[in-house]
Structure 1
Amino acid sequence: MAIGYGLVRTLARWVLEVFYRRIEIVGIEHLPEGGPLIVAANHQNALVDPMLLLGLVPRPMVPVAKAPLFRHPVIGPFLRMVGALPVLRRQEGNVDPARNRETFAAVSAHLAAGGAVLIFPEGTSQPEPTLMPLRSGAARMLLEAEAATDGALGVALVPIGLVYHEPGTFRAGRALLTVGEPVPTGDCLALYRNEPDGAAHRLTDRLSTALRRQIVEADDRETLRLLRALESIAHAGGPPDARAATARTAWMQGAMRAYRHFREHEPARVASFRAAVERYLSDLERAGLSDRGLAQPYSAGDVVRYALRAATSLLLALPAAAWGMASHLLPYTLTALTLRRIKPEPDEEATYKIIGSAVIYPLCWLVEGWLAWKLGRGPLLALFAVLLVPTGFFTIAWRDRLERVGRDARGFFRLLVERDLRRRLGARRQALLDELDALARLVPDAVRAAPPDGRA
C-alpha cells in the first residue's frame, strides 16, 4: 500500500496545484506526528476534499468511503491503492450490518497499530457553505477502538475545516485547510462503559462544534463570496499578520453572526448594506478594477510602461504558448463540452472536471501523438512528447498573465478616460466602511460571544 499511497498522494497534489490558484494549510502543528489518529473534515467539494487531505496532510491516512465508489471504474482503483475502507449507508439499500462491523473492526485494528483514519462525518457532500448534522460514525469508531483496549490507545480526534473560494473554477479557485486542536474525549470514554449511545452523541456534538470553529458557514455561496470581499475591503490597509488565514476566518465567522443578528432585528438596514456591497463589487468588476488597486495612483506614463512590458513579455512567450494551446485545445474543448452536457451539481463540478480530464486528455494525446508520427515520424513525435507537459504548464501561466493584463488594461483605460471614477468609487468604498463600522458598534456582546454555529 505504501507505494500506491505515495503515487496517489503525489498525483493528488500535482492535479490540485494545477487546478487551484492557491492552496493553504494552517494549524498543522495541531496534528500529532505519531500515534492513533482520526481526522474528521467537513464535506463540500465531493472527491476534491479527500484529494486535498491525502495530498497535503503529512501523515498517511486510510480513508473511509461510501461503498458504491469502490465500483466506480476511475475512482475505485485509487481507493484500493490507498487502502480505503468501504462503509454502507442506509440510503443505498440492502445494507448488511455485518459489512459495516467488518469496517469498524478494520478501523480499530488500524488505530491499534498507530495508524490514521480519514472520515467525513456529514456522510455526504453538499454544495452550500454550511455544516450538516454529523453522523456518529467517527465518534463510534474512536470509542470502540478505545473500549477494545480499555482506553489505552489515546486516539486523537482532529477536526480539519475545508474552505473554498470558487471551488469548481479552474485556475480561479482557492482552498484553505485549517487544522484544529484535538477534541477532548476523556469523559466520553468513561461514559461509553455504561451509556455507549450517550457517549457517541456527546462526542459527535463536540466534534460538530470543533469543526464549526474551523470553517466559515454562510447561507449560500453568494453570501460567502460577498463576505470574503467585505473582509478584504475592511483589512486592505492592515499589517501582514492581520491577513493571516486564521484571522480572516475568525473575522468572517464574527461577521456572519452579526449578519444573522441584523437580518432578524434590522432587516431593511442590512439588506440595504448588502445591496450597496453588491453594486460596488459589480461596478469594480465592470471597470476592470480591484479594491486593492483602487487605492494605487497611476499616471499615463505608468500605464504606457506597464503596457509595453506586458505586451513584450506576452509576445516573446507566444510561440511556446501557441504550441501548448495547439497540443491541449482538443482535450480542453472536449472536457468543457462534456461538462456542459452533464451539468454537475456545484459541489461536484471540480470532481467531474478532474475525472473528465484524467480520461479525455490522455486519449486525445494518444491521437495527437499518432498524428505527429504520421506527419513527421520519429522526430516530430519526440518533439511533441518532450514539449507536451512543460508547454501545458507554460500555457496556463501565459493565459493567467494575459487575463490579468487584459483586466488591468481595461481598468487603466477607464481611470484615464473617466477622471472622476477613482474619486466616486473611493467615496462609495469609504461609505461602506463607515456603515460597517457603525454596524459593528451595534453588535450585542451576546452575539460576539455566540458559539461557532453563529447563532446567539
Structure 2
Amino acid sequence: MRIPQLEECGRRDRAHLPGRGAHAGGPRRRRHGVHRGPRVRLRRGHANGGRLRDPRRHDRRRRPARCPAPLTVGPRLVLTLVRALLAIFYRRIDVAGRERVPATGALIVAANHQNGLVDPMMLLAAIPRPLRPLAKSGLFRHPIVAPFLRLAQALPVHRREDAGGRPVDNVETFQAVNDALARGEAILIFPEGVSQPEPTLMTLRTGAARILLEAEASGAAPVTLLPVGLVLHQPGLFREGRALVLIGEPIAAKDCVALYRTDPAAAVHRLTDRLAQALRRHIVEAEDRETLGLLRLMERVWREESGTAPAPASADWLQRASRAYRWLRRTAPADVQRFRCEVEEYAATLDRLGLTPSSVGREYAPSLVARYAVREIVPLVVGLPLALLGIALHALPYAMLWLGIRLARPDPDTEATYKLAGGILIYPLGWAFEAWQAAKLGGAWATALFLLALFPAGFFALAWQARLANVRRETRALLHFLARRGLRARLVARRHALAEELERLAARVPESVLTGESV
C-alpha cells in the first residue's frame, strides 16, 4: 500500500511529556512588565504595516548568540502545573522531532491552533526550552488565566477584533519581543491568530514573519523559525484525548532577510507563505471533522492490517491519506463518493455494535478469554474498594465541574480549556469543603486520613475506571460474536475489502501529491 510509506518516521524521536522548560502562548500581545534591552526606535507609516523600523536604517552588525536564561520561579511553577494537568487530563501525548529544537539562540516557535489555551500548554511541556508566549490581551483580564500568564512571562497582543475593529497599537509588544530575541530567548506564537476546531489551517497572519525579519534587521543574532504541528484526537474528552506534537525542520529565511532590506512587504509575505507550507506538512487537514473521523477510522483499519504503528507513523499515514482524498475528490469524484459511503456504512455498523477495528480482528479462543478474565477482572474485583473510595472523595468537585461545563456549553476548541480552568478552581474548593466536613465530623484524625487518601485513591480510581472500560468493550465484543455466528468473519472480510479498495485508490495518486510536494 502506498499511503503508509513513511520516509521521515525512522528519523523522528518519540517521547512522552516531560520536556524540559517552556511557556505557552497565543496570538500577538502588548508588553507586560518585561525586562527591556536596548531601546529600539520604531517608525510608523512603514511598508509592512507601520509597526516596525525601516530595515535600511539599522546597524546590521550581528550580536553573538546567547544561551537562554534558566527558568525563574514563576515559569517553573507554571511548567510544573502544566505537566501535571496534561498528564491527568490526556491519555497520551507524544512528541516527535525534539532534536530539531536548537539548544541556544533566538527562536520563534510557530504552531497551529485548534485547542484553545491547551495548545500553548502542550508546547510548554513539549519544547525543551523556556518559551515566552504571545497571548491576546483580553486573557490578561481573565480572573483564572491572567495570573498564570504573568507567571509565564507572557506578552499581550492587542487584536483589531478585540477592539471592535478599531486600529490597535502593538509597538511595545514588538519591541519587547525584539528585546527578548536579542537576548537569545524563545518566543511562542500561533500565526493563525485565533483558535478554531476545524481540521484545517486558517490564513496566517504576518506577525511571526515580521518579528523574525525585524529582529534580523536590528542586528540581533540569527533567529530560528521552527514550525510545530499539533495533531489532536478528541482533545476535549477527559482521559480519552490524545495528542502528537510534530516538530519540523527550521524554516530557511536568509533570502527573506536579504529581500527585507529592499522590499519589506514582499519579504514578509514570502516568509509567511513558507511558514504556512511548513505547518501544512506537519498537521492533518480535512474538509470537516466528519471527514477527519472517517480518515481516522481507516487509519485504524490500516494499523490492524499492517501491524501496530507508533504515533508519528499514524500521523504520516493520515497526512498522506488526506492529501490523496483531496486529489481524488477532484479527479475521481464518483469513486471517492462510493468509497466514502462504504466507510460510513462500516463505521455505523461498528458504532451500533459498540465495536472497534481492533476488537473485530481479535481472536476469542476459550483459553485466551480465560487468561484475559484472570488478568483483567481479578484486579478489578480486588481493587474495587479503593476505587470506590477514590470516586467518592472526588465525586463532589467532579459533579460541580460537570454541571458547570453543561451550563457553559463551550465550543469544541475550548472544551478542554474550560475543563482544565474550571478544574483548577472547582476541585480545590470541593476538597476544602470535604476536609472541613471531615474535621467537623471526625476531628483531626479524620482530616489527616482524608488528606492522605485523597490523591492516591483518586489516581487509582482513574486507572481502575480505564481498566473497567476496556473490559466492558471486550466483553461486549465477545457477547456479540457468541450471539451472532459469522459476525466476526463478515466484519473482518469487510475490513479487508476496505483496505484493498483504499490501496487501489491510492495507487492512482502521484507520489508528489502524497508527500505534499504538489496538490
Q: TM-score, normalised by structure 1?
A: 0.94
The answer to whether 1:427 aligns with 2:493 is: yes
Q: 1:350 to 1:299 in 2, by over 3 A?
A: same
Question: For the residues of structure 2 that align with 1:158 and 1:117, how far apart are their CA atoms?
Answer: 10
Q: 1:301 to 1:417 in 2, by over 3 A?
A: farther
Aligned to 1:165: 233
The answer (yes or no) to whether the contact 2:93–2:242 under 8 Å persists in 1 is yes
The answer (yes or no) to whether the contact 1:164–1:176 under 8 Å persists in 2 is yes
Aligned to 2:449: 383
More off after superposition, 85-94 vs 245-254:
245-254
Question: For the residues of structure 1 that align with 2:386 and 2:303, how far apart are their CA atoms?
Answer: 39
Deviation at 1:274, TM superposition (A): 1.6
Question: For the residues of structure 1 that align with 2:181 and 2:329, how far apart are their CA atoms?
Answer: 46
Deviation at 1:95, TM superposition (A): 8.4
1:302 to 368, 392, 402: 368
Aligned to 1:197: 265
Deviation at 1:418, TM superposition (A): 1.8
Q: Residue type of the partner of 1:191? A: L
Question: For the residues of structure 2 that align with 1:98 and 1:400, how far apart are their CA atoms?
Answer: 49
Q: Deviations over 1:123-150 (max 9, x none)?
A: 000010110000000111111111111x
Q: 1:97 to 1:34 in 2, by over 3 A?
A: farther
Q: Residue type of the partner of 2:432? A: L
Q: Secondary structure at the match of 1:423?
A: helix
Q: Residue type of the partner of 1:79? A: L
Question: For the residues of structure 1 that align with 2:172 and 2:266, how far apart are their CA atoms?
Answer: 23
Q: Residue type of the partner of 2:76? A: G
2:249 to 173, 178, 181: 181
The answer to whether 1:90 aligns with 2:160 is: yes
Q: Secondary structure at the match of 2:134?
A: strand
2:217 to 122, 147, 168: 147
Deviation at 1:233, TM superposition (A): 1.2
The answer (yes or no) to whether the contact 1:168–1:349 under 8 Å persists in 2 is yes
Aligned to 2:200: 130
Q: 1:95 to 1:420 in 2, by over 3 A?
A: closer
Aligned to 1:321: 387
Question: For the residues of structure 2 that align with 1:290 and 1:222, how far apart are their CA atoms?
Answer: 17
The answer (yes or no) to whether the contact 1:158–1:183 under 8 Å persists in 2 is yes
Deviation at 1:224, TM superposition (A): 1.3
Aligned to 1:68: 138
1:224 to 284, 288, 292: 292
Q: Residue type of the partner of 2:500? A: D
Aligned to 1:436: 502
Deviation at 1:28, TM superposition (A): 0.7
Question: For the residues of structure 2 that align with 1:368 and 1:136, how far apart are their CA atoms?
Answer: 50
Q: Residue type of the partner of 1:84? A: A
- Residues 212-361 of structure 1 mapped to structure 2, 5 A cutoff: 212-238=280-306, 243-361=309-427
Q: 1:438 to 1:98 in 2, by over 3 A?
A: closer
Q: Deviations over 1:139-185 (max 9, x none)?
A: 11111111111xx5110000000110001111111011000000001
The answer to whether 1:10 aligns with 2:76 is: no
Deviation at 1:72, TM superposition (A): 0.4
The answer (yes or no) to whether the contact 1:20–1:174 under 8 Å persists in 2 is yes
Q: Deviations over 1:5-54 (max 9, x none)?
A: 01111111110111111000001111101111000000000000011111
Q: Residue type of the partner of 1:16? A: L
Q: Report the count of equivalent residues.
A: 449
Q: Secondary structure at the match of 1:347?
A: coil
The answer (yes or no) to whether the contact 1:88–1:95 under 8 Å persists in 2 is no
The answer (yes or no) to whether the contact 1:112–1:145 under 8 Å persists in 2 is yes
Q: Residue type of the partner of 1:364? A: G
The answer (yes or no) to whether the contact 2:201–2:280 under 8 Å persists in 1 is yes
- Residues 373-412 of structure 1 mapped to structure 2, 5 A cutoff: 373-412=439-478
The answer (yes or no) to whether the contact 2:90–2:242 under 8 Å persists in 1 is yes
Q: Residue type of the partner of 1:176? A: L
CA RMSD of aligned residues (A): 1.8
Question: For the residues of structure 1 that align with 2:254 and 2:412, how far apart are their CA atoms?
Answer: 39
Q: Residue type of the partner of 2:216? A: E
Question: For the residues of structure 2 that align with 1:84 and 1:24, how far apart are their CA atoms?
Answer: 25
Question: For the residues of structure 1 that align with 2:164 and 2:364, how far apart are their CA atoms?
Answer: 67
Question: For the residues of structure 1 that align with 2:182 and 2:165, how far apart are their CA atoms?
Answer: 27
Question: For the residues of structure 2 that align with 1:29 and 1:415, how far apart are their CA atoms?
Answer: 47
Aligned to 1:103: 173
Q: Secondary structure at the match of 1:216?
A: coil
Structure 1 unaligned spans of 5+: none
Structure 2 unaligned spans of 5+: 1-70
User: Percent sequence identity over matched residues?
Assistant: 52
Q: Which has the higher helix share?
A: 1
Q: Secondary structure at the match of 2:201?
A: coil
Q: Deviations over 1:240-297 (max 9, x none)?
A: 6xx2433322322221122122223333322221222222233234434332233332
Question: For the residues of structure 2 that align with 1:246 and 1:431, how far apart are their CA atoms?
Answer: 26
Q: Secondary structure at the match of 1:346?
A: coil
Question: For the residues of structure 2 that align with 1:268 and 1:237, how far apart are their CA atoms?
Answer: 26
Q: Deviations over 1:194-233 (max 9, x none)?
A: 1111111111111111111110101122211211221221
Q: Secondary structure at the match of 1:313?
A: helix
Q: Secondary structure at the match of 1:214?
A: coil
Q: Residue type of the partner of 1:284? A: L
Q: Residue type of the partner of 2:127? A: V
Q: Residue type of the partner of 2:382? A: L
The answer (yes or no) to whether the contact 2:244–2:312 under 8 Å persists in 1 is no
Q: Secondary structure at the match of 1:160?
A: strand
Question: For the residues of structure 2 that align with 1:286 and 1:123, how far apart are their CA atoms?
Answer: 39
